[in-house]
Amino acid sequence: MRFVYHTARSRVNFADYGSDYVWWFGAVSNTVRDERLRRLARGMALRCARKWRLAHRTLPSDADAQTIAEFVSGGDAAESLGLGDERLKDQLRLAASRFSARDYLAFDPLTEPPPSDVPDECEYDGADNPRGARLCHVCKRRLVMRTRYDVWYDALVTAHTGDHYGVTLGAHYMDVLKWLPVLRPYGVRGRGTDPEFIDAVYSVTHVVYTLNNYWTYRLDPRLLPREYAFLKASLPKAVAVRDADMLGEVMDSLRSFGLDDSDPLIREGTQFLLAHQNRDGSWGDLDDDDTYDRYHATETAVNGLCEYAGRGEGLSFPEVEPLLRRWAQE
């Protein structure tokens, strides 16, 4: 945790990922069982939240959809720590309505399933390109398409955050969640380095996170039997390819379904993470120059190792339970 906070103290890193830092420290402080870790995370969360608030007092008049979504994410995280700002929230509600679902989510979940024609940012110059583009408009090189899993779970998180905060970002959580059945079945063949497999894993972990409000509730595996089975099958693959980031997400998602340290899968993951922590306290590739990759792998490893405080069964949005039960029978 101190490694993550060390990265957050960088002005450049905080400018890029400030809302994410606020959210993670706050979520840990509200959910983990270890009281010492809760206090440590709480102090870090409040310092980051106050810093974020100082830099985000008002929404720029020319804010685009991405900027609005960033403000909503940070505002939601700060509010969960008792640092709300109703004036800014009113600004965000007004501004958010000016943009469409495609602007926020890269597709319109009201009218279409998750698409496979959304290009990733250009790997050569970092440029964003419109949906359907095959060549970068800047360098004219071929673009790599995002998987439909990647597009979908990014939209799921965005819609969940908007609904949780009370500022709709193009569509509601249920509008995105309803496409879960079209992403099944999940493939588990081959090695754990296939992009489609990796994005499927992160899709499922983010179904868990958004349904249990990020470790707040325990989930009934009977509501998501396919997802539960897929996560269990994915854990050994994450270990085999030494992917601490993916492993941590799989482990804490399985804990959300009720597995604990007595389970062989959790023990396997725990042994790997404890044996592969870096000397600086982080997890992941020390040679990776991407700050997000470094700190996110560390966050997920911490989450995978943590036990969570007295969670009863529940859902972030209880109204989705009948739908989940119906899907479980299909």
pLDDT at 189 over 80: no
| pLDDT tier at 67, thresholds 50, 70, 90 | very high
What is the pLDDT of the chain when averaged over all its residues?
97
CA 68, CA 162: separation in Å to the nearest integer? Answer: 10
Mean pLDDT of 274-289: 97
H-assigned helices in 83-147: 86-96, 101-105
pLDDT per residue over 29-49, tens digit each?
A: 999 999 999 999 999 999 999
CA 165, CA 86: separation in Å to the nearest integer? Answer: 11
Q: Please state the φ and ψ torsions of residue 97, each to the nearest 5 degrees.
A: -70, -10
Mean pLDDT of 231-250: 98
In a 10 Å sphere around its CB, with 0-12 CB exposed, 13-18 middle and 19+ buried, how is residue 104 labelled?
buried
| pLDDT tier at 184, thresholds 50, 70, 90 | very high
| pLDDT tier at 1, thresholds 50, 70, 90 | very high
pTM tops 0.85, yes or no = yes
CA 268, CA 144: separation in Å to the nearest integer? Answer: 34
CA 19, CA 286: separation in Å to the nearest integer? Answer: 24
Q: Please state the φ and ψ torsions of residue 161, each to the nearest 5 degrees.
A: -65, -45
pLDDT at 69 over 90: yes
Residue 249 is predicted with a pLDDT of 99
Residue 156 is predicted with a pLDDT of 99
| pLDDT tier at 188, thresholds 50, 70, 90 | confident
pLDDT per residue over 196-235, tens digit each?
A: 999 999 999 999 999 999 999 999 999 999 999 999 999 9
Mean pLDDT of 289-318: 95
- Count of H-run helices and E-run strands, the chain: 14, 0
Mean pLDDT of 158-176: 99
Residue 187 is predicted with a pLDDT of 83
- Which residues have a Cβ under 8 Å from the Cβ of 31 and sit 6 or more positions away? 214, 215, 216, 308, 309, 311
CA 72, CA 19: separation in Å to the nearest integer? Answer: 9
| pLDDT tier at 310, thresholds 50, 70, 90 | confident
What percentage of the chain exceeds 70 in pLDDT?
100
Inter-residue contact 267 to 261 (CB < 8 Å): yes
